[in-house]
Amino acid sequence: MSQNQVLFERAQRVIPGGVNSPVRAFRAVGGTPRFITRGEGAYIFDADGKRYVDYIGSWGPMILGHGHPAVLAAVTQAAQEGFSFGAPTEREIELAEEILKLVPSMEQVRLVSSGTEATMSAIRLARGATGRSKFIKFEGCYHGHTDALLVKAGSGLATFGHPTSAGVPAEVAQHTLVLEFNHLAQLEEAFALHGKELACVIIEPIAGNMNFVRTQTAYMKRLRELCTEHGALLVLDEVMTGFRVGLASAQGHYASLIPGFKPDISVFGKVIGGGMPLAAFGASRAIMKHLAPLGGVYQAGTLSGNPVATACGLATLREIQKPGFFESLTAKTRALVDGLAGVAKENGVPFSVDAQGGMFGFFLMDQLPQEYQTVMKTDKERFNRFFHGMLDEGIYLAPALYEAGFVSAAHSDADLNQTLEAARKVLR
């Protein structure tokens, strides 16, 4: 029996499903999850000592690869100074200043410990600032596991959502309206019906939780207009895209396509923590003043702005601002997805790919889907065979077809070539 199997059996005795976050259990693809012992650059190593080229990167944070020397030094230094004080530190100001410098739509930012906390707090802030309760989210977008966000569409635009998780009271879901991604007519109708009751609309600008689906530019433009017209706040969930698709994040990308575009509230996570528990949400001063201790919207955290996590995040943000960083990362990611598309074509496999900065998605279908229902039409069996074939070849892709992939600065040409060789073998 492999050491991964031994550990998985042991884990299942003491941890539900053997994992601390469901997707790690490999339920979608079957088989035994790999228990990771260490990471180094672009690689992770499992309990059997097998090496994998890592395209998950802790689901996004590890943009520099594992164990980057500058980050390691910053974290080690911070840990020696103290793990947590529950009192303010200068490093929190430094990280806030660094983030604000890179995100012109925000004037202030609050640090928290997870993306879930950040989106939950952003929704509360939007509700507190507008005095309204209802909000819109989109099918296929994931914003963490707070009750009001674990909601699927009701039976029509007049009815609000239903919980997607046991334990979420129907009453909580009743304020969440779930719409189809990129469906303009539906959006117009929803605003016509409920516009004046909406506190906000929350969206993943490039949805990485249904693999990789961009918000169409015209759709984003109209969404911005509708929010402004109706006094609803536009919340961009950049937990995944933030500092991953480019230094200006997805909002900078859309601002380059839609003059004057900016969200009202932004949410960040993953890269800003560099692999440590850290996330953030921010907005204009006028909106952020509603937050405690200034205003009536309560929000807090024992470990918020943690000194070790902020050191990790700061060091990471400084590295990604070095000249040419995103040009190089973008070129690597492009080489990977174009290479994969080429290999698929050689083998007559239906395939489509998209990428932005260091984030990518591929679909075993001819055209890129524009919304969730089409994403879900992917041939799951074929995806699972591809996933396991690649894993056997030492290539670690996300163990579910609705997850995005990530390239890090540590991936070399040799790693990319190994990946394409593996894909050639598996797709054959």
Residue 112 CB, shortest distance to ligand PLP, in Å, is 9
Query: What CA–CA distances, in Å, run from 364 to 100, 104, 231, 354, 379?
Result: 39, 37, 40, 12, 7
> Which residue type is seen at 340?
L
- Alpha carbon distance 309, 293 (integer Å): 23
Residue in 4, 89, 105, 116 binding ligand PLP, rule: CB under 6 A? 116
List the one residue from 57, 115, 163, 252 that touches ligand PLP (CB under 6 A). 115
Name which position in 34, 134, 137, 143 contacts ligand PLP (CB under 6 A). Answer: 143
Each residue 52-91 as x (binds ligand PLP by CB under 6 A) or -, in order, gives -------x--------------------------------
Nearer to ligand PLP, 280 or 410 (CB): 280
3-class state of residue 402 by DSSP: coil
Closest CA to 416 of 348, 317, 326, 339: 339
Angle between helix 380-392 and 413-427 (nearest 10): 130
Q: Which is nearer to ligand PLP, 163 or 269 (CB)?
A: 269
Cross-strand bridge partners of residue 266? 236, 282
Options 11, 78, 240, 390; binder of ligand PLP; rule CB under 6 A: 240
Q: Are 148 and 173 in contact (CB under 8 A)?
A: yes
Verify whether residue 142 is a known catalytic residue.
Answer: yes
Between the two ends of the chain, the Cα-to-Cα distance in Å is 29
Binding piece for ligand PLP, criterion CB under 6 A, among 108-116, 158-166, 176-184, 410-418: 108-116
Q: Of the candidates 237, 264, 354, 415, which one interacts with ligand PLP according to CB under 6 A?
A: 237
Q: How far is the CB of 277 from ligand PLP (least distance, A)?
A: 8
Q: Are 42 and 408 in contact (CB under 8 A)?
A: yes
Residue number of the CB atom closest to ligand PLP: 115
Distance from C-alpha of 212 to C-alpha of 274, rounded to nearest angstrom: 21
Q: Pattern 194-233, binding to ligand PLP, x per CB under 6 A?
A: ----------x---xx------------------------
Q: Is 270 a catalytic residue?
A: yes
Selecting among 43, 52, 55, 142, the annotated active-site residue is 142
Q: How many helices (H) and strands (E) does the chain have?
A: 14, 18
C-beta of 209 vs 249, nearer to ligand PLP = 209
Active site residue 134: no
- Residue 310 interacts with ligand PLP (CB under 6 A)? no
| Positions in 252-291 near ligand PLP (CB under 6 A) | 269, 279
Whole-number Å distance between alpha carbons of 205 and 213: 9
Q: Give the helix ranges, DSSP H, for 267-412.
A: 285-288, 307-320, 325-346, 372-375, 380-392
- Which residues are catalytically annotated? 142, 237, 270
Q: Which residues bind ligand PLP (CB under 6 A)?
A: 59, 114-116, 119, 142-144, 204, 208-209, 237, 239-240, 269, 279
